Structure 1
Amino acid sequence: MLSREQIEAMIPHKGGMCLWDEVVEWDARRIALRADNHRGAAHPLRSQDRLRAVHLCEYGAQAMAVHGGLRARARGGDASPGLLVALRGVQLHVSYIDALPGALECEAEVLAEGEGSQQYAFRIRHAGDLLAEGRAAVMLQAVGAA
């Protein structure tokens, strides 16, 4: 539904730090995305030649950013820049993700939002198995604010 290039145009993360390859579907409350970059030797979050499951929190946060960009675009505007301020209830069901064959899949949904903040739940799966889940809160800046 939406390509990596289109995703990069909406979020501040570029190149290898843009973690999602495609948006599968979305509506005003939720988004589903897919990525197949977790095995890459050049993945920017790798350390000691491994990609730890804790980095799935960044995948979840970027899912929020993509969803915010899509929602803003649907309203005819730009998304407000956000700052991740909290992760809660994070559960990691694996230790590493770099050897998993096939794509990672994410669902993220809006739980609460106000003028200056948003809270989402995210779940990341591989081949139907839940890898990580949690909630993330973002503080939003007004578009054009310093």
Structure 2
Amino acid sequence: MIPRQDIFDLIPHQHAMCLWDEVVEWDASRIRLRAHNHRDPTHPLRSNGRLRAVHLCEYGAQAMAVHGGLRGRDSGEAVRPGMLVALRGVDLRVARIDDLPGVLEGEAEVLMEGGSSQQYAFRIHHAGVLLAEGRAAVVLADAPPMPR
């Protein structure tokens, strides 16, 4: 298991904007994570006291980013920052998530990748029930220079 503090080292999202609390398991093609923050009244994506299901797309995108960071760290190569450019086939099965007890569980899986882009599928569950799923495309920037 990889704790939240280690996730901070993998993605640009910090503090409350880092949505995942732990990585449960991962390999070269997929990742599973958990989050407990969806009920937090100070959640940065809340509006009018609610955290809407559309924000599960951000949970999915951050799952992809954590996976990319782990893959980069594992290979010893610099992680290439990515920019989310498209969401496809998104299916939201609830209207809001701030009223759900317990943890959110997410997974992301690489579907395709090329030299400068990746496509992932993501799924977010709560208590074994699918809340959201979709596909996301990311364009990768040049890798930052490796420290000397």
Aligned-pair distance for 1:78?
Answer: 2.4
Aligned-pair distance for 1:79?
Answer: 1.2
Aligned to 2:100: 100
Aligned-pair distance for 1:144?
Answer: 2.2
SS of 2:101 mapped into structure 1: coil
TM-score (norm 2): 0.96
Q: What does residue range 57-136 of structure 1 map to in structure 2 within 5 Å?
A: 57-136=57-136
- Give the gaps of 5 or more residues in structure 1: none
SS of 1:13 mapped into structure 2: coil
One-letter amino acid of the structure 2 residue matched with residue 96 of structure 1: R
One-letter amino acid of the structure 1 residue matched with residue 140 of structure 2: L
Aligned-pair distance for 1:130?
Answer: 0.3
Structure 1 Cα separation of the partners of residues 33 and 62 of structure 2:
10
* Dislocated runs of 4+, deviation >3 Å: none
Aligned to 2:28: 28
Is residue 60–residue 108 contact of structure 2 (8 Å, CA) maintained in 1?
yes
Q: How well do the aligned residues superpose, as a CA RMSD in angstroms?
A: 0.8
Structure 2 Cα separation of the partners of residues 135 and 96 of structure 1:
20
- Give the gaps of 5 or more residues in structure 2: none
Structure 1 Cα separation of the partners of residues 144 and 34 of structure 2:
30
* CA distances 1:86-117 after superposition (whole Å, capped 9, x unpaired): 00000000000001000000011000000100
One-letter amino acid of the structure 1 residue matched with residue 50 of structure 2: R
SS of 2:73 mapped into structure 1: helix
Aligned-pair distance for 1:58?
Answer: 0.1
Identity %: 70
Structure 1 Cα separation of the partners of residues 101 and 108 of structure 2:
22
Structure 2 Cα separation of the partners of residues 79 and 131 of structure 1:
30
SS of 1:46 mapped into structure 2: coil
TM-score (norm 1): 0.98
